[in-house]
Amino acid sequence: MKLFKVLVVAGVSVALLSGCGAKNNETTGGAATTAPATTEQADAVTSASIVNQADAFTTAVSDKGTWIVAVLNDLTVDKDVVVAGEFHDKNDTAKPIYRKLALYAQDADHKVTATYTLTAPKVTVQSENFRVQGGTIKGDVYVEANGFNLYKDATIDGNLYFSSEDVKATAVLEGKVTGATEVK
């Protein structure tokens, strides 16, 4: 049974990583999000941080984390979350600054098969060009960095605050915010 669980997690990981897409996304200025080529050994430089526990999640979104963080289930973090650090798409410094939180799972055809909820008292975004895609953040989100993107399939079940009008002006909000959206 333990081997079965390991194989399921590995399968979900491969599907999620391959689901980072090979299509350009107009909302990120055309930044491609193609998945890395599969090799026999994992490529630590371009790998996602796939998490299902609060401590692993807070580390993954910290400045010591990775450019993409994906969750495997609904996740509750009892303390404030800080998304920090400068990362590039696929950790390739030749590519644009970009960071992504994937709150969903998908199949090999890139169809979303499940969405997840991240519950936290407060999420502070200090990473530039940070995208929330799929699922829901339940709690207030404070954006301090330019280029925040709430993708069309994502929801903030709470308030969305920006540190300044300039930061707010760089945001792309296609998703849903259930509370206030304002500069605070």
Residues 6+ apart with CB under 8 A from 111: none
Check whether 97 has a pLDDT greater than 50.
Answer: yes
Residues 6+ apart with CB under 8 A from 53: 75
pTM: 0.76
Q: Tell me the domain boundaries of the chain.
A: 2-21+42-183
Q: How far is CA 25 from the centre of its chain?
A: 15
pLDDT of residue 48: 73
pLDDT of residue 106: 92
